[in-house]
């Protein structure tokens, strides 16, 4: 029955993770997956999260199903966090199974609405293409990264927008672009908003690293610029990195649409979610709602998130200094001009393999490095490894 199927390649990120776990060398270093770690290289646990877990456990929260669109208090609180003080009745938000689930539901809704094309940046998170192709949407890349000059390829990006068909959709990473760490400036966001509004292109914002770039308000600046300009849009948010709740799979899909369409679109989101996963998991939403709904816990979380953000800047500086010390030939000066968890190095796949085999250093196949895994203990080994390429 299944003889027509052939073996598919492993996922580029999770496949690298499997190779790392199978490596028995005690000196191995994992820079491939984007998770926030502490100074000891262990998964970062927010103190605010620990307190929220204690409270929820003591209340013995119900294990019954959430509604299809998730925990209402979380949806309302998270929506306000992302869009600010805009009229909440202009939006509809649904809890999803992670940011991936938000993007998947968005893609299914686009195809139901008759959207014919979607455009994603080149490069981008690899799963973007797979998610929208799974919805039978034709996916086309638009210029984003100028590899030669290691900067945003903004002029060519605008030219691509001018050639996009009306009533298409475009994916925009709101901050901490994965894999480059390069984001538009305020003026570029404004110019991009103007061009997309003229072309009637629907923005799909992917907000995966809230607060880990320049802070919560700054990391949503592009979204709020587009809202100010009157765009309809989708916003796909994950709280995995921002709250350290990776396996709780907490995402949010937010729609800004004319009020006359919101109820109709909400009904289709419920239908898609019901067909796909029926209702989202509760634990992550309960934790996030406990944090966002309590002023003391929320302040604690924001302070911890800011400390994590500042630590990422420190990790960049540490690596930069060590690469200088070891006279690394691979271009690395953009380390200090980028932000977020990732930085893209010009390392070919054979260099990635060599780094893994000789130095036990694991990075993504496209040369993306997760800065979050750098510590004082491993930074020199990383720089030495990169300097051999």
Instruction: Set out the domains of the chain in order of their start, with CATH numbers.
Output: 12-46+297-387 (3.90.1150.10), 49-295 (3.40.640.10)
Q: Residue 94: phi, psi to the nearest 5?
A: -130, 130
Q: What is the pLDDT of residue 389?
A: 87
DSSP state of 239: -
Contact 262, 92 (CB under 8 A): yes
Contacts of 361 (CB under 8 A, 6+ apart): 28, 29, 31, 355, 381, 382, 385, 386
Q: What is the pLDDT of residue 290?
A: 97
Q: Which of 183, 206, 219, 248 is catalytic?
A: 206
Distance CA 309, CA 340 (A): 8
Q: Residue 100: phi, psi to the nearest 5?
A: -60, -45
- Cis preceding-peptide flag for 2 (omega within 30 of 0): no
Q: By C-alpha distance, which of 67, 96, 7 is closest to 288?
A: 96
Q: What is the pLDDT of residue 330?
A: 85
CA dihedral 158, 162, 166, 167 (to 10 degrees): -10
Contacts of 148 (CB under 8 A, 6+ apart): none
Q: Residue 86: phi, psi to the nearest 5?
A: -70, 155
Contact 138, 165 (CB under 8 A): no
Contacts of 197 (CB under 8 A, 6+ apart): 229, 230, 231
Catalytic, 206? Answer yes
178-190 as b/e: b if 16+ CB within 10 A? bbbbbbbeeebbb
Mean pLDDT of each 10-residue bin along the chain, 389 residues long: 91 86 92 87 92 90 90 97 93 98 97 95 95 94 95 96 95 97 97 96 98 96 97 97 95 96 97 96 96 97 96 95 92 92 94 94 94 94 93
Catalytic, 125? Answer yes
The CA–CA distances, whole Å, from 337 to 32, 58, 156, 180, 311 equal 21, 45, 21, 11, 15
Residue 91 is encoded by which pair of tokens? 């939006």
Give strand pairing partners of 342. 370
DSSP state of 361: E
Q: What is the pLDDT of residue 2?
A: 95
Q: Which of 183, 189, 219, 241 is catalytic?
A: 241
Element (H, E) at 169: strand 169-173
Helix (H, G, I), strand (E, B) or coil at 364: coil
Residue 315 is encoded by which pair of tokens? 């990790």
State the burial class of residue 141 (Cβ atoms within 10 Å of its Cβ: 0-12, 13-18, 19+): middle
Catalytic, 303? Answer no
Q: What is the pLDDT of residue 270?
A: 98
Q: What is the pLDDT of residue 34?
A: 87
HSE on the CB side for 43, CA within 13 Å? 11
């Amino acid at each position: 029955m299944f003889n027509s199927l052939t073996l598919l390649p492993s996922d580029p990120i999770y496949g690298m993770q499997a190779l790392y776990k199978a490596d028995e060398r005690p000196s191995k270093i994992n820079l491939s997956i984007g998770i926030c770690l502490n100074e000891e290289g262990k998964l970062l646990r927010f103190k605010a999260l620990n307190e929220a877990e204690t409270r929820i456990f003591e209340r013995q929260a119900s294990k019954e199903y959430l509604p299809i669109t998730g925990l209402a208090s979380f949806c309302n609180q998270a929506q306000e966090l992302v869009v600010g003080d805009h009229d909440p009745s202009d939006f509809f938000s649904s809890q999803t199974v992670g940011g991936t689930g938000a993007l998947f539901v968005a893609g299914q809704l686009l195809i139901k609405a008759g959207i014919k094309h979607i455009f994603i940046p080149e490069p981008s998170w690899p799963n973007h293409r797979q998610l929208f192709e799974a919805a039978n949407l034709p996916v086309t890349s638009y210029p984003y990264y100028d590899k030669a000059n290691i900067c945003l390829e903004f002029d060519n990006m605008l030219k691509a927008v001018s050639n996009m068909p009306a009533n298409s959709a475009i994916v925009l990473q709101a901050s901490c672009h994965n894999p480059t760490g390069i984001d538009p400036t305020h003026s570029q966001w404004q110019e991009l908003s103007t061009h997309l509004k003229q072309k009637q292109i629907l923005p799909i914002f992917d907000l995966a690293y809230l607060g880990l770039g320049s802070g919560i308000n700054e990391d949503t600046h592009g979204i709020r610029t587009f809202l100010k300009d009157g765009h309809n849009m989708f916003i796909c948010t994950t709280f995995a990195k921002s709250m350290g709740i990776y396996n709780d799979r907490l995402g949010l899909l937010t729609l800004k649409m004319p009020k006359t369409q919101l109820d109709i679109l909400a009904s289709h989101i419920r239908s898609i979610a019901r067909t796909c996963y029926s209702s989202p998991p509760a634990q992550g939403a309960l934790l996030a709602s406990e944090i966002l709904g309590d002023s003391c816990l929320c302040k604690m979380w924001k302070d911890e998130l800011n400390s994590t953000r500042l630590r990422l800047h420190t990790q960049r500086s540490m690596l930069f200094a060590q690469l200088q010390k070891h006279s690394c030939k691979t271009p690395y000066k953009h380390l200090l001009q980028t932000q977020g968890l990732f930085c893209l190095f010009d390392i070919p796949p054979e260099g990635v393999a060599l780094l893994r085999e000789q130095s036990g250093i694991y990075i993504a196949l496209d040369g993306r490095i997760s800065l979050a895994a750098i510590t004082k203990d491993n930074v020199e080994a990383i720089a030495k490894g990169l300097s051999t390429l």
